[in-house]
Amino acid sequence: MTSIGQLRSQVASKERSAVEVARQYLERAERLDTEVHAFLRLTPERALAAAEAVDAKIARGEDAGLLAGVPIAVKDNLCMVGIPTTCASKILENYRPPYESTATRRLEERGALIIGKTNLDEFAMGSSTENSAFGPTRNPWDLSRVPGGSSGGSAAAVAACEAVASLGSDTGGSIRQPASFCGVVGLKPTYGLVSRYGLVAFASSLDQIGPFTRSVEDAALVLQAIAGHDPLDSTSLAVNVPDYRQALVSDLKGVKVGFIKEFFAEGLDPDVADAVFEAIEVMRDLGAQIQEVSCPRFARGLSTYYIIATSEASANLARYDGVKYGLRDREADALVPMYGRTREAGFGSEVKRRIMLGTYALSAGYYDAYYLKAQKVRTLIKQDYLDAFAKVDVLVGPTAPTTAFAFGDKVSDPLSMYLSDIYTIPLNLAGVAGASIPCGFDARGLPIGFQIMANALEEGKLLRAAYAYEQATEWHKRAPALAAEALTR
């Protein structure tokens, strides 16, 4: 399993050409994806063109970039000029954006090779990637189980070594939860640190783009490449981006770590609890000062999120009306029936459910009772984080209450599905930073994720804690048999 640093070094020294690397990963992705279905489409022409540009720069003696020659996959809700961007929805099945997302543009400016667009729950609404209009993605550790969601395709692509890294989006846990299920590193940055320009909106005050990688160092490098102010995004933070690699040290001397006691309650799988407590003890051995922290209002996070997120989704998805772009019903004989028939045919059941929930919460007579109250609770949850970070440098806990569940286990029970994100949602409501890193396996051999959280714009603290733990353990070095077998070919 080649790291970003190793791959950059090989390409820069001409040990391997970027074109050779691109072809290798495109071939591997094409071969493995018949089983995993991490990708909705590969982009060989674009990847090979980028690779040729990297090789040409190196031949001229120029710096080819931080991610020179690194194959990266991108969630299919990030716009790329001329490349279909479907959000895994029939309503956008043939949509080709006329503009480029800032995140993908920055990747290619730094030498990355974007090899394809990955599968997701439709419009990023889901926790299992079962809601895709184009079929589910399978977990590389056990093909009978889900990879998590909504960024399941991006997580599975990295776990299966079909890509060295990938980008996902996280609205309520959609990077961290699939990272946990697939045994990889998944990082959700501070809201506003990475531009959302070109990210198809689900819930605009919650969405954030971040990386999946096989190591914390690789996550730091990808974050370095995509972070920074963007005038095209009004919510982008005008801050200097530090060199995150400087935070990667192997001890935690003097670091204050708080474990959130409310996360260790009913509903947490015993194998997950044991693995997380063992991870906390590793941190103690590395010099961290461990203490229990209470965040009592986190329990309100789930209900608060599903009012705010669905309300914003209702507003954002109103644009898919069959008029401007995307699917259009051609048989309706008037405008209003065309709206209804287009949206009925184009949206899946989970998207319709969330649009209806959000529309109801925003309707006359209910706005104050639901949406306004949810925003007030959101403020209280953010205050819980501020109070906690006044005492500790980072917070820790499980990423998800269970390991990956089987296909179909939760599809007919939306509340059970929503509970998969119970530990990740509060962080999005507060807009602070969080990551999931591998910390063990359950009795069935499925990965367990350890969630580390830091205050806004303190990704350096988060990365230090994650890196020190990772270097003291071996969990991140394991790969599913499917990937290990492919790497030997």
Tens of pLDDT, residues 173-192 = 999 999 999 999 999 999 99
Residue 330 lies in a domain: no
Residue 89 lies in a domain: yes
Burial class (CB in 10 A: 0-12, 13-18, 19+), 136: buried
Nearest in space to 226 (alpha carbons), one of 139, 334, 340, 101: 101
Catalytic annotation, residues:
75, 150, 174
Residue 241 lies in a domain: yes
Residue 11 lies in a domain: yes
The CATH number assigned to the domain holding 60 equals 3.90.1300.10
Ramachandran angles phi, psi of 199, nearest 5°: -90, 120
Pull the structure tokens for residue 359. 């529309």
Residue 59 lies in a domain: yes
Residue 465 lies in a domain: yes
> What pTM was computed for the model?
0.97
User: How confident is the model at residue 415, as a pLDDT?
Assistant: 87
User: How confident is the model at residue 460, as a pLDDT?
Assistant: 98
Nearest in space to 403 (alpha carbons), one of 178, 210, 186, 216: 178
Rounded Cα–Cα distance for residues 357 and 425 (Å): 18
Residue 323 lies in a domain: no
User: How confident is the model at residue 324, as a pLDDT?
Assistant: 86
Residue 319 lies in a domain: no
Pull the structure tokens for residue 347. 């949206």
The count of structural domains within the chain is 1
Is the Cβ–Cβ distance between 194 and 222 less than 8 Å? no
User: How confident is the model at residue 488, as a pLDDT?
Assistant: 54
Instruction: Domain of residue 453: give its range.
Output: 4-295+382-487
Mark the ranges of the chain whose per-residue pLDDT is less than 70.
Answer: 485-489
